[in-house]
Structure 1
Amino acid sequence: MEGSVEVVVDDTEQILERVAAVDVAKASGKVCVRVPHDTKEGKRVTRVFDVVATVPAVERLADHLVCEGVERVVVESTSDYWRVFYYVLEERGLEVWLVNARDVKNVPGRPKTDKLDAVWLAKLNERSMLRRSFVPPADVRRLRDMTRMRVDLVADRTRAKQRGEKLLEGALVKLSSVVSDLFGVAGRRILDALVAGERDPRRLAALGTGLKASPEELTAALTGRFSDHDAFLLKIYLDQVDALDQQVATLCARLEEITAAMPLPARRSGTPEPAGVTVVDGVPGTVSTVTGEIFPPATDAPVGATPPSAGGPPVPRTVADLVDLLDAVPGIGRDSAQMVLAEIGIDMGPFATSGHLASWAKLTSRTIQTGASLRMGRTGRGNRYVRRALGTAAVSAGRTNTFLGVRHRRLRARRGGLKALVATSRSILEVIWRMVHDQVPFRELGADYHTRQQDPERRKRVLARQMKNLGVSPEEAASMLAAA
């Protein structure tokens, strides 16, 4: 028809003959198996039955599904109850998909039961009308368990410190008003002395060596109503902080051991992004459409080999080596690098491009188009651990004199702080994708990157127009240039 536009969708419809689906509950799961009929051609047999959510029962289910020749099993992601079905079926070599319950809702107005939900899930499965949730391999899941536990332990330690500070405020001791780190070296000496029974403000103030506050300020802040009852409670909080410090240190040491022993997958060939090959200073590479980063082309060198360029950096062998590479990204430290790798994995196979990874992390806005109206929606929630690590990294990178720092400040001036934070987080994540995918080190473009990309003649015209708008005469401009 006139005005019509042909759209080619790269999507091959896949119809599976033998499928299964599990509608998960806490104590059991409703399993639906759909297979072809033995005698009636074109007919399908649907069987629905209950399976107790225990390892032996799910192992028997796995044997049954293998005997039925099931090609794919879909498990609904209900709370943490899906894990026993997913892990055991995965161990038996079955192809298991975890799907978000929000994406598989039945037709509105229809009756809703566990049996009907399982049948609906199986029908969607056989027509491949599902979107698979990302579940990393078992070794990465173990790494993720530890990084998430570290986040929880650090949060518990922070709460214990806050309770201790609140206790001091209740005892009319205003130490936190004059000490920036109440649980630092000097602050901890004062707190330990309070617990030990010292009540003289002057003697306590003498323990605050190295603090910015004067002895008079410390003495006034330490003059309060601190009693033995407060000392008893404060000791409990201090013991909690010490125990959590030890647990965090033990966990960090264990993380270093595991990452040093975990090998990286074979180095992949570079998947071209929607950008061309660019030559900067005689070096060919792929330019990121978001960050402007120029990346060298990937090679097929095996793990542990040296890149083709003579004298180039060695290819990382283990996850610890990859963490060292990510540590060079502005705003990313070792803890943040371990956290991000534990969440996105060390193999970028599930994410075809950096844009796919950014979309999975919900760092891309939704496109909402209807008629002539086109607007951008919210970014979504995404993985909270990735968002937290990248948000912290973006704030830190925004304070640096680097390409990412300058880009963050430019965006903040134009679009506001929140949008600049999301955009910088996405830039960092896309850089991480490229470094993990190609196993290459970070390359800093420099704080003057945007200035170097500008056309000098155009810049002159812009400055001349600005000076004219400000009412600067040619004579004044000449004198200012001479003074500069």
Structure 2
Amino acid sequence: MSREPEEIHDPDHEIRLSRVAAIDVAKASGKVCTRLPHPTQPHRRVTLVWDVVSTNELCALAQRLVTDQIERVVLESTGDYWRPFYYILEAHGVTVWLVNANDVKQVPGRPKTDKLDAVWLAKLNERGMLRPSFVPPKAIRDIRDYTRLRHDLVADRTRYKLRLDKLLEDALIKLSTVATNFLGLSGRAMIDALVAGERDPRRLAELALGKLRVKRPALVEALTGRFDDHHATIAAVLLQQIDALDVEIDKLTVIIDQLIAALPPTGTGEDCPPAAHQPSVLERLDEIPGVGPRVAQIIIAETGGNMAQFPTAGHLVSWTKLSPRTMQSGSKTRRGPTGRGSPYLKSVLGDAAAAAARTDTFLGERYRRLVKRRGKARALVAIARSILTIVWHILADPTASFIDLGPDHYATHINKHRKTRSLIRQLEALGHTVQLNPA
């Protein structure tokens, strides 16, 4: 508790403006509100409210805002309806902020209408009481659309694979219990043969390749079932869907690779020019345990690749919603909810953390230390946060590269005297007398 006055510096975005606008976005239209200085009364404002429906009206609105010298326009992030307003206004050179709906909640006691919502949003904008959301530049937005679509298609493909596995289980075909990937080369050949009419489990087991051939006796047992024409018809449909999704996913991957390769080098340091033969961003991110090329692509697409909008690694972690909010009142301090964040970024970070936890690296050892006292879920979140911190340092400095501290980092960096005193106290608490003899 501090008894002396403490100065709290206002963030850069908390600046009062005199010429502002706000748009309450809906599916079919937008309610526009502008607040301008009164021409004759210095301390008064002129508030105008009207609707914008079509694209032509939106282009005319952009021209009007430029003519009125509007300093900033704010939009509430309502679904995806804000996108045409943001993109067209941005293209006309208007400063546009996308704000979180939680920051502009309805005030109790005030009627709820689109007109009043637009006026309230404009007043908040005028008084500098809003925070802008991060909207990446168009090149990153294009990559983000492709990576998100690919992520969704991969999820759809996984659902079709699970349906196929369920169908095989219904036919008493236990292929997934013997083959780790039942749709690998061997498994796919067996399923195609089943669809083609082959029912002899021994002939099906002979289709096994590589290491799976030593499991042929188990495959014979697993392929002995009641697979009939009904199952074959459904399996053929599911396989067609999986193959079609494979083709589309591969196409998107090629496009994403090309777009990311065309991005300019990232980094916030102006005095750190990229060195000759410097590894690409994807190559440097790929050095992190658990982070592969696709995970690195999603990280770049979701964060923008340029860490100028995140002053520290903590800002990036907080924006991703991997750190709990601190809620303090009086002498009580508790942790609040983390929030939602980007589901695509959090999903791949969770996958990367799970993969890193199984490695013999510093991150793997960190997970094994945390899981003992914090549980699996919190330990994985902690590893995801560590990975994101590493990502920030790599993206912020174009010359930085990942160096693993090793799984023995904790063991070689302990305070030996403090550890010795702790062990002595534990033994004495159990009734032993301890005498130390140097080794």
TM-score by structure 1 length? Answer: 0.85
Instruction: Note if contact 2:18-2:37 (Cα within 8 Å) is conserved in structure 1.
Output: yes
Instruction: Note if contact 1:72-1:94 (Cα within 8 Å) is conserved in structure 2.
Output: yes
Q: Say yes or no: does 1:389 pair with 2:388.
A: no
Say which SS state the counterpart of residue 329 (structure 1) adopts.
Answer: coil
Instruction: Note if contact 1:355-1:430 (Cα within 8 Å) is conserved in structure 2.
Output: yes
CA distance in 2, matches of 1:471, 1:166: 59
Relative to structure 1, the CA distance from residue 66 to residue 362 in structure 2 (aligned partners, 3 Å threshold; closer, same or farther) is same
CA distance in 1, matches of 2:395, 2:2: 44
The corresponding residue for 2:418 is 458
The corresponding residue for 1:287 is none
**1:474, distance to aligned residue in structure 2 (A):** 6.8
Equivalent residues in 2 for 1:190-339, closer than 5 Å: 190-209=190-209, 210-211=211-212, 214-265=215-266, 267-269=267-269, 300-302=271-273, 304-305=274-275, 314-315=277-278, 321-339=280-298
The corresponding residue for 1:183 is 183
The corresponding residue for 2:161 is 161
Equivalent residue letter for 1:342: A
The corresponding residue for 1:351 is 310
Say which SS state the counterpart of residue 338 (structure 2) adopts.
Answer: coil
Equivalent residue letter for 2:272: A
Instruction: Note if contact 1:20-1:33 (Cα within 8 Å) is conserved in structure 2.
Output: yes
Equivalent residue letter for 1:452: T
Q: Say yes or no: does 1:447 pair with 2:417.
A: no
Relative to structure 1, the CA distance from residue 258 to residue 175 in structure 2 (aligned partners, 3 Å threshold; closer, same or farther) is same
Relative to structure 1, the CA distance from residue 466 to residue 68 in structure 2 (aligned partners, 3 Å threshold; closer, same or farther) is same
Higher relative contact order (CA 8 A, sep 6+): 2
**1:50, distance to aligned residue in structure 2 (A):** 0.2
1:289-341 Cα offsets, whole Å, 9 max, x none, are xxxxxxxxxx7132x335xxxxxxx545xxxx101100001111111111111
The corresponding residue for 1:431 is 390
Say which SS state the counterpart of residue 435 (structure 1) adopts.
Answer: helix
Equivalent residue letter for 1:8: E
CA distance in 1, matches of 2:175, 2:404: 43
The corresponding residue for 2:10 is 11
The corresponding residue for 2:300 is 341
CA distance in 2, matches of 1:412, 1:174: 34
The corresponding residue for 1:132 is 132
The corresponding residue for 1:368 is 327
Bigger drift between 446-455 and 88-97 goes to 446-455
Equivalent residue letter for 2:142: R
Bigger drift between 152-161 and 406-415 goes to 406-415
Equivalent residue letter for 2:275: A
1:233-286 Cα offsets, whole Å, 9 max, x none, are 211111111111122122112211111111124x423xxxxxxxxxxxxxxxxx
Say which SS state the counterpart of residue 20 (structure 1) adopts.
Answer: strand
Equivalent residue letter for 1:305: A
**1:165, distance to aligned residue in structure 2 (A):** 1.4
Instruction: Note if contact 1:264-1:346 (Cα within 8 Å) is conserved in structure 2.
Output: no
Instruction: Note if contact 2:179-2:212 (Cα within 8 Å) is conserved in structure 1.
Output: yes
Instruction: Note if contact 1:363-1:379 (Cα within 8 Å) is conserved in structure 2.
Output: yes
CA distance in 2, matches of 1:68, 1:447: 62
1:37-71 Cα offsets, whole Å, 9 max, x none, are 1222221100000001x432211110000000000
CA distance in 1, matches of 2:364, 2:218: 38
CA distance in 2, matches of 1:169, 1:361: 39
Instruction: Note if contact 1:179-1:213 (Cα within 8 Å) is conserved in structure 2.
Output: no
1:353-386 Cα offsets, whole Å, 9 max, x none, are 1111111111111112122211222222211111
Relative to structure 1, the CA distance from residue 121 to residue 255 in structure 2 (aligned partners, 3 Å threshold; closer, same or farther) is same
Percentage identity across paired residues of the two chains: 52
Instruction: State which of 401, 408, 411 in structure 1 corresponds to 2:370.
Output: 411
Equivalent residue letter for 1:347: N
**1:415, distance to aligned residue in structure 2 (A):** 2.0
Query: In angstroms, what is the RMSD of aligned CA positions?
Result: 2.2
**1:402, distance to aligned residue in structure 2 (A):** 1.7
Relative to structure 1, the CA distance from residue 448 to residue 114 in structure 2 (aligned partners, 3 Å threshold; closer, same or farther) is same
**1:28, distance to aligned residue in structure 2 (A):** 0.5
**1:30, distance to aligned residue in structure 2 (A):** 0.2
Say which SS state the counterpart of residue 191 (structure 2) adopts.
Answer: helix
1:89-141 Cα offsets, whole Å, 9 max, x none, are 01111110001122201311210100000000000001110111111111001
Bigger drift between 69-78 and 417-426 goes to 417-426
Instruction: Note if contact 2:394-2:401 (Cα within 8 Å) is conserved in structure 1.
Output: yes
**1:469, distance to aligned residue in structure 2 (A):** 5.5
Relative to structure 1, the CA distance from residue 467 to residue 239 in structure 2 (aligned partners, 3 Å threshold; closer, same or farther) is same
Equivalent residue letter for 1:148: R
Instruction: Note if contact 1:178-1:213 (Cα within 8 Å) is conserved in structure 2.
Output: no
**1:464, distance to aligned residue in structure 2 (A):** 4.1
